Structure 1
Amino acid sequence: MGHVSVIGCGNMGSALVRGLSRTGTHTITACDVDQQVLDEIEVHCETTTTDLATAAESPIVFVVVKPDLTAAIVEDLDLSSDQTLISIAAGVPTTVLEARTDADVVRLMPNLAAATGDMAAAVSAETLTDEVADLLEDVGVFVEIDETEMHVSTAVNGSGPAFVYYFIGAMIQAGVDGGLSRDDATVLAAQTFKGAAETVLQSDASIDDLIDDVCSPKGTTIEGMGVLRESTADEALMAAVAAAERRSEELARGVEHE
């Protein structure tokens, strides 16, 4: 596929490195100021470096640093018009970065499941190229959205894994409280979420119809669903997504006022 650089190898950057590496079709340069971080992912890379200039040599360059550092890093990279810059910075508009580089700018909101090839991502449709699309398909699935929808995407698929982990944790604890070992409860709960998610992706049925498929009259599932439907669990989850979306909007206003 070609040479790719990942600048910033914390949790998300490392996930991208690992996900791209597992395909065996990319040569990867990883760049970070922390040598220990680079040592941990060295096996997945052709090159590790603390030098931005070295990372800037790749045709495609991911910038995976904190939003308040992104614009300055992009400016320091001095990329050319035949290169592509992919930014994952929450709240940093494409226009802010385009003013600081000659490269084509693609805005992406991925998540940590890129490490296993199961990433859910949103990418700005206005700037997506076939080359970038092929690259993203190697680490998961993506949807093309208008850049104005990036705030809610940041909340749904960017922050979303943490919300899912929270609910998996609750189901694990329920299993443990009922007498299962923690290891067994973890396998059963996590695989249940995984299987249910795959069913949603592969089925044309609505969520309500899928729930009804599991519920038998006077059975165990319908009893549990009665508790959920009388609770505010759905409202709490939607509120969490809304809070994350608001924070993305706040970050954007901070960048635009700099």
Structure 2
Amino acid sequence: MGSALIRGLSRTGNHTITACDVDESALDAVDEYCATTTTDLATAAEAPVVFVVVKPDLTAAIVDDLDLADDQTLVSIAAGVSTDALEPRTDARVVRVMPNLAAATGDMAAAVAGDELTDDVVELLDDAGVFVEIDEDRMHTSTAVNGSGPAFVFYLIKAMMDAGVDSGLNPDEAKVLAAQTFKGAAETVLRSDESIDQLIEDVCSPKGTTIEGMEVLRESTVDEAVADAVAAAERRSEELAGEADDE
């Protein structure tokens, strides 16, 4: 996720990026997108906005080691780690973000919680994609929907791709057609004033091909499977929160 954010913000040319990691190979992987790479936490802590992009069980310790001032902003993306858990550990403003890997291409969907969303943070998030502000008690749901969601969508794209290959398309053709179809459908949802149910109906001509396929989907348990996947990810986010509280 850290690499995705770095790549996405770098592509705009609007930001001076410092990457900090104890793993030199991780720094080498993002070196071309950064003004500075370092293993020194104090160097990274000089930035006006500091992203902490580590595993949830490491987040509190890293924040303790960062010596941030009250004119800086700490942005945490750790699943399950609340702003209440971090605010006593730093003088900086604390913002919690649940982004996703599409930040690398500027297509991120993110949820944001925190008492003070500064102009600097808004600009950073806008350059990485789209964000919505939510109540923090809904962060577990966001973690499941937009944080874990790309993997669920990749799974569905692959299922459509595999179906195309099984029916005669070569893998490259099927990959492009399936992925672009998801991309185009998503853009249509975001740009249209119609409900998703109505958009489905718009594609379903009477006695046509789409309505035949939709009847199969509607008679299946695919809705339940997707809901179960989101619920499982949400439960795990809640478990991580409990583990973080025990630290």
Provide TM-score, normalisation by structure 2: 0.98
Tell me, which stretches of 5 or more residues in structure 2 are unaligned?
none
Structure 1 distance, partners of 2:204, 2:186, is: 17
Secondary structure of residue in 1 paired with 2:94:
strand
Letter in 1 for 2:119: D
Question: Does residue 209 of structure 1 match 2:180?
Answer: no
Q: Percent identity?
A: 76
Residue 130 of structure 1 and its aligned partner are, at CA, apart by: 2.3
What's the counterpart of residue 246 of structure 1? 235
The one-letter code matched in structure 1 to 2:234 is E
**SS of equivalent residue, structure 2 residue 68:** coil
- Where do 1:22-41 residues align within 5 Å? 22-41=11-30
| Count of aligned pairs | 247
Q: Residue 125 of structure 1: CA displacement?
A: 4.9
**Correspondence for 2:170:** 181
Task: Give the 5 Å matches for 1:124-135.
Answer: 124-135=113-124
Task: Supply the distance in 1 between the matched residues of 2:43 and 2:67 (Cα, whole angstroms).
Answer: 12
The correspondence for 1:228, drawn from 217, 235, 244, is 217
Counterparts of 1:106 and 1:230 in 2: how far apart (Å)? 43
- Confirm whether residue 167 of structure 1 aligns to residue 151 of structure 2: no
Cα distance in structure 1, aligned partners of 2:117 and 2:234: 23
The answer (yes or no) to whether the contact 2:49–2:120 under 8 Å persists in 1 is no
Match of 1:200, as an amino acid? V
**In structure 2, the residue corresponding to 1:79 is in which secondary structure?**
coil
User: Could you tell me which amino acid in structure 1 is paired with residue 138 of structure 2?
Assistant: E
TM-score in terms of structure 1 length: 0.94
Q: Which amino acid aligns with 1:201?
A: L
Query: Is residue 119 from structure 1 mapped to residue 108 from structure 2 by the alignment?
Result: yes
Q: CA deviation at 1:128?
A: 1.7
CA contact (8 A) 2:94 2:114 kept: no
Which among 179, 186, 193 is matched to residue 190 of structure 1?
179
Q: Which residue identity does 2:55 align to in structure 1?
A: K
For the residues of structure 1 that align with 2:177 and 2:114, how far apart are their CA atoms? Answer: 38
Residue number among 52, 74, 77 corresponding to 2:66 in the alignment: 77
Cα distance in 1 between the residues matched to 2:10 and 2:38: 17
What SS is found at the alignment partner of 1:78?
coil
Q: CA RMSD in A?
A: 0.8
| 8 Å Cα contact 2:83/2:114 also seen in 1 | no
CA contact (8 A) 1:115 1:139 kept: yes
Among candidates 141, 155, 174, match of residue 144 of structure 2: 155
Write the letter of the residue equivalent to 2:161: I
Find the residue that maps to 1:17 and give its secondary structure.
helix
